[in-house]
Structure 1
């Protein structure tokens, strides 16, 4: 049976004491919640002993002002209610914490910069589903690890102390922040002490993903040959097999630092570098000279060397596809969206940050040089590949993921290839955001949070 959604009303502490809750009589009967007996009220990491007084002809829950302040909730907040008879616990929730990289209290309208609108959207979606969300940075984690100074939206953004959440969505955009001892300690503590769930709990390295997926024979058809670049021998070996190869920083994102190597003669090679202003090219009379030019970079940057692919093109510009895969209300992987991304004329990578443009899969395929016979089922084949790969990441990488951006390509023969998997997918790479509209990708985050937290 689905957990009921109720409105929480806050009553003056002079009228209602902190250890008494007033709950609609019909709700008590339906969920067999004992009245006038000692129970535990639970909200995230918050625990408090209460007794419940039934109220006839009333559907909501009334709590005192002091209790509401300790829980960090406002009057009129819709929440789910779940009673566990064995432990005599009345749980309200789910309480969702979104871990973000930075905030700026001085920017009251946009305290989270570009993602403020997404945070508002997530708040609206939570209200409609009976969940409660707050946003916090690593600096906001309390010394006790049981409280957080989080941001909530209620007619404007407010900062307040809140309990540690039932579910954490890790949206940190920097490995340095993610690896801070306070963050790792907090995650361990809330999992161990409160049974909290943390999803998208870590960044993925490119080499980690390809090495893991290679273990599954059914996924190998999607994987271009890839290795960690360690020496000249490996570069020479890959370049003898392919007319072009890519060097990708193992920890890169947004197309930064990618180098494409292309054979332009029996011995000559050209290196194309992805930069913000466009593609920079440099020619070398031998592979050895090319290697010596990048050997310095290899001391500080680890590269994945990958087979070059003959991608489909629109007007001479390469096209790839970003699939957003998410776990749904029953914990199964599903496709939320797939978009085509066409590279800007000055770039060979298609990222929006590098001037790439979005289109539907159908539009991208129709305008491309893909043979007509391969076009009809292209969307279905991309969807299948994305789901296969998401399940593979789940099976072979020991971490909890619920949302993956999977970059795929079609080559000129119609074969689907994996480019990379992103565990912190941007919310800009699916449908454009309009104020007041809740996207399916945002609704899915809350549905999954409810599923894993039992609400």
Structure 2
């Protein structure tokens, strides 16, 4: 098997010509790369004809400063290589780009705010596994054709002009930014002009997910009764069918704006709504008055109305589970992590932003009231549900996803339910409970990017 990784050295000024690169003789022999004959160098969208010079007793790659500036490759970069004799193209990479919502150039140590650690981990993973990565915002792509102004890590964070990458990971956290004409134009252009693979290319609406998955008979067992809230008659029907309901903003996140509706024995209804200070309780004498109370919110917000599930609890606090499901180095869905999320004391939602806490699945299940058999089966059931739901999303929704945050619940009988699916899972909320330097989720993202780029 030929060696796939090389460390790049940038030679001093004037030592190497712009169209020459040096490779170790053993690499040329393993890959059958012709020395002294022109071939094409490819790095992301960058293409240039070069001549390769063989260097005995050396297993790296040397390029000149001009080629370094054109490609954005810095000395010490570790890249994978592949050579195609038929097309005479020497590919180095993969070159990965991550589109983020904003940057903070005046904060050199934290130019990406709360996701700076994730970005730094991805740089480290590239050094270990072979690859290059840069980060850019929608402001960096104005008039972009073949090149993008992006952030790279080279003894500190620096802005550098880079080729359009082999892969774009869309980490935009705002629908408004994602739907900007310039962003949509850029994504269309890089796919059509350069064959760039774009994954996690769109947000998922809560109701879109449930509507799509209803077509998959095998997934119905995971799905609570759930609909887009439209009118009073539908609302009455759901209220009579289920003692507890949840109203969720179709485009909400972090537990914002969720309303829990509970039917009382006397026919009245109680609502609990999440807000900045905690939860707000209200009581309505009947379902019509309840609908009138929430209909004002419906003018500005579309709601999903969903059957409440009798969740397992830890110390009277509801527990749910976040599964991070990612494509791996062979392009297949795999479960990277599943963590239990326990609701905060004054909340009925488990998001960490709402005061929730993390636990391992086994610890959370062990503290619940499930039967011994149900406790034993729970981890496997969650894994199965997460993988089947990810496959269902891929089949039913016409978009390219490389990772999904799948929120699941287990009821007091041990049955697994789908709560929602997030196509932009947080890089903080789903962190596995360990102290490893580079998270498995980061390594897996690089694995899939390498697969997409053909490395």
Q: Same fold (TM over 0.5)?
A: yes
* Structure 1 residue 436 displacement after superposition: 7.4
- How big is the shift at 1:433? 8.3
Residue pairs, 1:94-109, within 5 angstroms: 94-109=94-109
Alignment of 1:16-415 (within 5 A): 16-415=16-415
Displacement over 6 Å in runs of 4+: 433-436
- TM-aligned CA deviation for residue 74 of structure 1: 0.8
Instruction: Give 1:145 deviation, angstroms.
Output: 2.5
Matches of 2:29 and 2:365 in 1, distance apart?
57
SS of 1:340 mapped into structure 2: strand
- Change in Cα spacing, 1:269 to 1:2, as seen in structure 2 (3 Å) is farther
Structure 1 position 431, deviation (Å)? 3.4
Matched, 1:7 2:7: yes
Unpaired runs of 5+ residues, structure 2, are none
Paired with 2:37 and 2:160, the residues of 1 have a C-alpha distance of 31
> What are the superposed Cα offsets for residues 315-358 of structure 1, whole Å, 9 maximum, x if unpaired?
21111011111111111111111111110110000000000010
1:295/1:164 CA distance change after superposition, 3 Å: same
Match of 1:329, SS?
Answer: coil
CA drift at 1:2: 6.7
Residue by residue over 1:293-316, the C-alpha shift from the partner in whole angstroms, topping out at 9 and shown as x without a partner, is 111111111111111111111121
2:341 and 2:356 in contact (8 A); partners too = yes
Contact persistence 2:142–2:182 (CA under 8 A): no
CA shift for structure 1 position 49 = 1.3
Alpha carbons of 1:382 and 1:124: their partners in 2 closer, same or farther (altered >3 Å)? same
Preserved CA contact (<8 Å) 1:20 1:51: yes
TM-score, reference length from structure 1: 0.98
TM-score, length of structure 2 as denominator length: 0.98
Deviations 1:37-82 (A, max 9, x none): 2211111111111111111111111111011011111111111111
- Tell whether the 8 Å contact from 1:250 to 1:302 is kept in structure 2 after alignment: yes
The 1-side partners of 2:73 and 2:158 are apart by 11
- Deviations along 1:184-209, one digit per CA (max 9) or x if unpaired, are 11111111111111111110000110
Q: Secondary structure at the match of 1:109?
A: coil
Indicate conservation of the 8 Å contact 2:209/2:393, yes or no: yes
Deviations 1:7-41 (A, max 9, x none): 11111341111011111112112111122222111
Q: How large is the RMSD of aligned CA atoms in angstroms?
A: 1.4
| Shift in CA distance, 155/341, structure 1 to aligned 2, threshold 3 Å | same
Q: Report the alpha carbon displacement of residue 374 of structure 1 after superposing the two structures with TM.
A: 1.3
Q: Which moved more, 1:216-225 or 1:178-187?
A: 178-187
Do the aligned partners of 1:247 and 1:258 also contact (CA within 8 Å) in 2? yes
Q: Distance in 2 between matches of 1:432 and 1:48?
A: 42
* 8 Å CA contact 1:142, 1:149 repeated in 2: no
Helix, strand or coil at the partner of 2:347: coil
The number of residues matched between the two structures is 455
Structure 2 contact 320–350 (Cα < 8 Å) conserved: yes
